């Protein structure tokens, strides 16, 4: 009986240690939520750009944003679910302001504003990824970061180049 109790106690202890090792820090949980919000924002703004952009290059960029950020979200969801992190359903109200600003514009003004937003958003996202990359302990979250970091860096490069092109057109 003593051996059985000791065995059960050790099992509970080791199970507890395993669970603790798999937990996320508050910073990791916040990063997951921020990444999901960033994806939602890029998708929302880029869908509007698909409808309203005047430049074929801007529309192509917007489609890339929708595709890549949808994929990013699909990679992030299982990590969040594994750790019980609830992802926001919609972009935060602050992003509604961006949407409303874009919605009021058309033509080349729309293209310029959208590309400026994409540069700013991707700079912020890349900074958050680079900051978190060295601090993450969860293996799946590390893998997510190593997967999306080069994609976000490439998006930023494309956005800067396209923004520059749009600025010199007028």
- What structural domains and CATH numbers belong to the chain? 25-169 (1.20.1260.10)
Backbone angles phi, psi at 76, to 5 degrees: -80, -35
Whose CA is closest to 22, among 141, 158, 170, 143?
A: 141
Q: Look at residue 18 in the predicted model and tell me its pLDDT.
A: 40
3-state SS, residue 80? helix
Per-residue pLDDT of the chain (170 residues; tens, 9 = 90+): 444 443 444 444 444 444 433 689 999 999 999 999 999 999 999 999 999 999 999 999 999 999 999 999 999 999 999 999 999 877 777 667 888 899 999 999 999 999 999 999 999 999 999 999 989 999 999 999 999 999 999 999 999 999 998 777 76
Q: Look at residue 91 in the predicted model and tell me its pLDDT.
A: 74
Q: pTM score, two decimals?
A: 0.82
> If you search the block for the tokens 């199970």, which residue do you land on?
15
Task: Judge whether 91 and 121 are in contact, CB under 8 Å.
Answer: no
Q: Look at residue 125 in the predicted model and tell me its pLDDT.
A: 94
Tokens representing 72 are 């990013």
């Amino acid at each position: 009986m003593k051996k059985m109790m000791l065995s059960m106690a050790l099992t509970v202890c080791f199970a507890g240690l395993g669970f603790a090792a798999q937990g996320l820090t508050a910073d990791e949980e916040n990063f997951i939520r921020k990444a999901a919000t960033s994806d939602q924002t890029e998708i929302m703004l880029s869908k509007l750009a698909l409808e309203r952009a005047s430049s074929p290059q801007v529309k192509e960029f917007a489609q890339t944003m929708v595709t890549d950020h949808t994929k990013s979200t699909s990679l992030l969801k299982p990590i969040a679910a594994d750790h019980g992190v609830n992802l926001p359903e919609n972009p935060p109200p602050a992003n509604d302001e961006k949407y409303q600003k874009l919605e009021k514009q058309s033509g080349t003004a729309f293209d310029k504003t959208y590309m400026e937003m994409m540069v700013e958003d991707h700079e912020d996202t890349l900074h958050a990824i680079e900051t978190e990359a060295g601090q993450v302990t969860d293996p799946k979250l590390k893998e997510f970061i190593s997967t999306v970091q080069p994609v976000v860096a490439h998006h930023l490069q494309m956005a800067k180049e396209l923004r520059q092109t749009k600025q010199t057109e007028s």
